Amino acid sequence: ITDNLRVRFSYGQGFRAPDFKNLYLDFTNVTAGYQVLGNPSLQPESSHNYNLGAEYQVIDGLLGRIHVYRNDLHNLIEAERIGQSAVGGSKFEYQNISRAYTEGVDVEAVIGSMGGFTSTLGYAYLRGADKETGLPLLNRSTHNGTLKLAYLHANSGFQIDLRGRYASPWGFFDDGDKVLEPEELAPSYWGWNVRTSKTLFKTVSA
Residues constituting the chain: 206
Is the CB of residue 102 less than 8 Å from the CB of residue 137? yes
85 three-state secondary structure: coil
β-sheet bridge partners, residue 206: none
Residue 162 has a pLDDT of 96
State which H helix or E strand residue 21 sits in: helix 20-24
In degrees, rounded to 5, the angle at the alpha carbon of residue 54 between the alpha carbons of residues 49 and 58 is 160
Question: In this structure, what DSSP letter does residue 23 have?
Answer: H
Q: Residue 107's pLDDT is what?
A: 98
What integer pLDDT is reported at residue 202 of this predicted model? Answer: 64
Distance CA 168, CA 117 (A): 28
pLDDT value, residue 80: 87
Half-sphere CA count of 187, side-chain side, radius 13 A: 3
Give CA–CA dist 111/64, Å, rounded: 9
H or E, element range at 6: strand 5-16
pTM: 0.84
Q: What is the pLDDT of residue 204?
A: 62
pLDDT below 50 — which residues of the chain?
none
Q: What is the pLDDT of residue 136?
A: 92
Q: How far apart are CA 160 and CA 194, in angstroms?
A: 7
Q: How far apart are CA 18 and CA 41, in angstroms?
A: 10
pLDDT reported for residue 114: 76
